[in-house]
Chain A
């Protein structure tokens, strides 16, 4: 069994966020982590490795320094790492990213592709399902549990107030929630091995069946009008009244602002 996990290096929100003049993130200047939903997807894949001996390949698109996130995944137990990096791929939105990743994945054999539900920097939740669409695969999003049954995968799909049990024939694509599991730590020996391991690096030339018009900033239909860091909330209004009075006061304010 072969599993591909798509991971993304995202800004560590503890370290603050910086932007380029065009509104895209200045990734080179920020502290980074593996996107939490992707890490849960990786853990799910590593459990398939523990249970069924699956071979786990991690793939990422990004700057050369995104190699770090692949090495971290390998120090946790992934077998191979593929970095897709090329200047022409920069500034990609979800469409251009999914086109790129699908173009890279066309080079590989797989039974299952696991991506995180969404990245904490963009929060779109689009890349996973788009990759499935490009590759003509069934997609099951918001996975809370993953089981293998013969040549199919059975996934507990989370909703706000319920869940669905969905079965799909492999190959298929699953998007994982960070609630799926508690990802394992790296091991010291895993780190040493991961840093000695070869990382496969692919550029534009290695992408299969993709059109340049769908890549990078030029191939991105999304244009960012404006981006900003978190806006600090004001201190609000403080009122010192007894509980009963306060209920009437809050209801009055909500009516005044047409909330109710």
Chain B
């Protein structure tokens, strides 16, 4: 077992760190304050291949691996949680399922522009009555001649109005399973601009405020028959597998937020003076920082391990990384919440002021315990594996 990073990961980390510091950090406060989607940053990331990091070169990607991608999301999230999740949702939730389940035609048509960053991706599973409970899906797809006709809506969709290509999960019929009638679920690729596909309300959120979170509405939206992703009836498996990968991306976002908050706090406690000395000289501060740093390091090991497990799966298709992903997300998200909260506390009154990054980071961190499977869902995944 070797915990040292290879030179290529060190260089990639340097690249992502420089990019984040120069291009992302200066905009983070404005993006949060004005809920502005950072389109210019997305265009720059596209130019440098950040939107296709783990995608093979033959499909327009960078030909790297999940660990490199995770480091990108981590470094971006250290300075801006919004920018981190844009890359995560695009890569893990849209490009990845097309790479894994798409036909060659679908890959050429959709994966190539996604990997090059010419198009942005999104994923629609959640509905008002179906988040964690995927069987609660109401959106329907009915085959009519050479077209699928979609009706229904999806909510809380990341990259909502800004994306170009959407993976949409819908009910395509019923199946009998263990004597019970279950919904048959399938996955589809839907392009923005398809008649009958519109956007509902924009969500006004606590954190990741620059992320475009919208409702997707389908009213007799007709898409070509060949836009079915994977086999009919495999939508639930595709969604679950996709979320396994997505959780590693969100775990990386959470890790980045925790690291960013820790870095800011270390700078702050050295400067802030109380009772004639810097607050870094108080044992309470020192012990809090020691706990925060230890937890961040633990989260990092779990996140990198999950990313490496996914990388290995892509090579041999043998070992599932579902539990690693769930553990990484559970730990990183809860650590992000704890570390950002402590960071605010150590900043005192200033930590509650918008001018200070830790205030935003604490709000951004909360969502990592909720989306792409709540912490409770991660516990279900992990315990089911332990007790099987």
Interface of A toward B, CB cutoff 8 Å:
71-72, 75, 184-192, 194-195
Contacts and interface: CB of A to CB of B under 8 A. Distances in A.
5 contacts: A188-B68, A188-B72, A189-B64, A191-B11, A192-B8
B15 interface: yes
B7 interface: yes
B49 A191 contact: no
A189 B61 contact: yes
B12 A188 contact: yes
A191 B18 contact: no
Contact of A72 (B11, B50, B63, B68): B11
A154 to B, nearest CB: 28
Dominant SS among interface residues on chain A = helix
Instruction: Name the interface size band of chain B.
Output: 10 to 19
A191 B12 CA distance: 7
Interface of B: 7-8, 11-12, 15, 18-19, 48-50, 53, 57, 61-64, 68, 72
A225 to B, nearest CB: 37
A187 B49 contact: yes
Nearest to B63: A189
A187 B8 contact: no
Nearest to B49: A187
B7 A188 contact: no
B48 A192 contact: no
B62 A185 contact: no
B308 to A, nearest CB: 16
B56 to A, nearest CB: 10
A185 B48 contact: yes
Nearest to A193: B63
A35 to B, nearest CB: 16
Nearest to B13: A191
A43 to B, nearest CB: 14
A75 B72 CA distance: 16
A188 B91 CA distance: 15
Contacts of A190: 49
Closest 3 CB pairs of A and B: A189-B62, A187-B49, A188-B62
A187 B62 contact: yes
A185 B18 contact: yes
Nearest to B23: A185
B11 A195 contact: yes
Contacts of B11: 71-72, 75, 186, 191, 194-195
